Amino acid sequence: MFILLVEEIEGVMLGALRRKAASGASSASVCGKSFYKLKPAGSASRVSSAVVEEINCIRGFGNVRTFCHLPSAGKTMYLMPKREVLNSSLKNVNLQNGSRPFSSDSDGDVFEAVVPFMGESITDGILATFLKKPGDRVEVDEPIAQIETDKVTIDVNSPEAGVIKEFVAKEGDTVEPGTKVAIISKSGEGATHVAPSDEKPSEKSPSSPSPPAEEIKEKQTPKVETKPAVAKPKGPPPKHSASEPQLPPKERERRVPMTRLRKRVSTRLKDSQNTFALLTTFNEVDMTNLMKLRSDYKDVFAEKHGVKLGLMSGFVKAAISALQKQPIVNAVIDGDDIIYRDYVDISIAVGTPKGLVVPVLRNAENMNFAEVEKEINNLAKKANDGSISIDEMAGGTLTISNGGVYGSLISTPIINPPQSAILGMHSIVSRPMVVGGNIVPRPMMYIALTYDHRLIDGREAVFFLRRIKDVVEDPHRLLLDV
């Protein structure tokens, strides 16, 4: 660009010089501005500032103010801009071409907090609540709002440390990734501080003068004496017909909109009920040996692995063994095909205050008891504090739901699509059982398997539960693979 500029300037100047030299003039002019003729090689020569300004107007480079040249003998003279002038011009050109900084302010003081990417299958969410108020101080990556999606709750974090200037979106708005939520000011200028109390200022100023007593007397309405009305005797209360229902008063009811997570759960469960041929089979498990194993090794286990030994890891290992012996339970229908999975991803149903979530143990067939317990604790903690991600809940080949932690005795769980079965665990109850011809108390648990009868026959479902029963009642089978 500057080479073209130099060649164009050279052509204009030399043409003017030739015309003036022919007429005997000692100076030439360009665009109405005069300049000196170029002297022979080796002598100093300069261009007047007025000519430079006129040339700048021609080329559109308002920041180019100084030119220098070094003519040499027998060579064409070129005009080159100085380095600092070149840098200044390039900066102006970049700004004119639309290059803008991230901040909306020239000094980079203001930043925008936007909705982050929420996952491949999630396109929007509901702005559930603001965790901060305008005027509050926030640090980098500190959550300032929460977005409710179909599956998880996602935080909107502050891009920079500063003060919340204002909120752009409102609670209850449907937002998409990239939607502006708040404006953060690094310096705190222009931030609106919210008073801690919600008390409204009194409409009447305490400093306003009160009207004179005489005016108050004049404005008073004269009293009119009225005779007290004779109370009419009340009639009997209206009789309600026998068919008219006695409804509770509306003021004792509350209407709350469903969360996105609750809507998603209800939709998926209803789709499961409408799509699958649901059937449930039951069995009961004697928990004596598994509970004894846990009691004998819980201290040593916790000391070595840093996690408590629970009953869930025993059922996960038993379910993995049952899936390997009955691979059809680990399969799924896809159109007119059956997809067999040669891996085992166990989904663990976790009930949270916001709804049911189902994190997944990836490649559970390669985990030992300690790894299963650690991963379950980690995923359950994330689910309860709302930090679990979409990827940690995607997929799964079999779901285990432990309703026993809430005291459930028996239930018929619903399949989590697109899986083909779900295993339900229940509470442990001491019941009289016949063992060796004697009636003895035993800690018993009912287990249930709900399966898609389009794919899984009753024979495979019963064998699946029988394998879980055998492994839980005799954990040594896992060591011997029998």
Same domain? 167 vs 90: no
What confidence score (pLDDT) does residue 235 get? 55
Task: Using alpha carbons, select from 309, 279, 269, 295 the residue that is nearest to residue 465.
Answer: 279
Pair (61, 27) in one structural domain: yes
Kindly state whether residues 459 and 435 are assigned to the same domain. Answer: yes
Average pLDDT over residues 124-142: 88
Q: Are residues 333 and 358 in the same domain?
A: yes
Question: In this structure, what DSSP letter does residue 399 have?
Answer: E
The verdict on residue 190 lying in a domain is: no
Report pTM. 0.57
| Same domain as 394, residue 476 | yes
How many domains does one find in the chain?
3
Structure tokens at 405: 């932690």
State the average pLDDT for the chain: 76
Domain end among 145, 161, 185: 185
d(CA 392, CA 362): 9
Q: Which of 49-63, 268-282, 343-357, 408-422 has the lowest mean pLDDT?
A: 49-63
Catalytic residue among 305, 453, 470, 474: 453
- CA distances 239 to 103, 242, 405, Å, are 71, 9, 50
Same domain, yes or no: 287 and 374: yes
Pairing of strands 398-402, 421-435: parallel
Among 96, 125, 152, residue at a domain's last position: 96
Domain presence at residue 119: yes
Last residue of a domain, one of 158, 185, 212: 185
Residue 384: CA atoms inside 13 Å, Cβ hemisphere, count?
A: 7
Judgement on whether residues 296 and 350 belong to the same structural domain of the protein: yes
> Is residue 453, in this structure, part of any structural domain at all?
yes
- How far is it, in rounded angstroms, from Cα 197 to Cα 101? 39
Amino acid in the structure at residue 293: L
d(CA 13, CA 33) in angstroms, rounded, equals 11
Residue 349: CA count within 13 A, CB half-sphere:
21
Segment 288-318, tens digit of pLDDT: 999 999 999 999 999 999 999 999 999 999 9
Q: Is 308 within a domain?
A: yes
- Both 128 and 43 in one domain: the answer is no
Distance CA 481, CA 384 (A): 36
Helices 458-473 & 312-325 angle (0-180, nearest 10): 140
The answer to the question of residue 197 being in a domain is no
* Residue 148 sits in the same domain as residue 67: no
- Our answer to whether residue 453 is catalytic in this structure is yes
Tens of pLDDT along 25-43?
444 444 444 444 444 444 4
Residue 175 has pLDDT above 70, yes or no: yes
The residue assigned the tokens 């204009």 is 12
In a domain, 134, yes or no: yes
Residue 416 lies in a domain: yes
Do 343 and 403 belong to one domain?
yes
Inter-CA distances, 420 with 274, 291, 330, 350, Å: 14, 30, 7, 19
- By CB neighbour count within 10 A (0-12 exposed, 13-18 middle, 19+ buried), where does 12 fall? middle
User: Sign of torsion, CA 70 75 77 78?
Assistant: negative
Encode pLDDT of 459-473 as tens digits.
999 999 999 999 999
Question: Is residue 88 assigned to a domain?
Answer: yes
One-letter identity of residue 405? V
Residues 136, 126: Cα–Cα separation, whole Å: 23
Q: Which domain holds residue 122?
A: 110-185
pLDDT tens readout for residues 188-230: 665 555 444 444 444 444 444 555 544 544 445 455 455 555 5
CATH of the domain at 121: 2.40.50.100
Same domain, 89 and 115: no
Residues 310 and 440 in one domain: yes
Task: Specify the CATH number for the domain of residue 464.
Answer: 3.30.559.10
Catalytic residue among 271, 299, 457, 476: 457
Between CA 420 and CA 427, with CA 425 as vertex, the angle to 5 degrees is 160
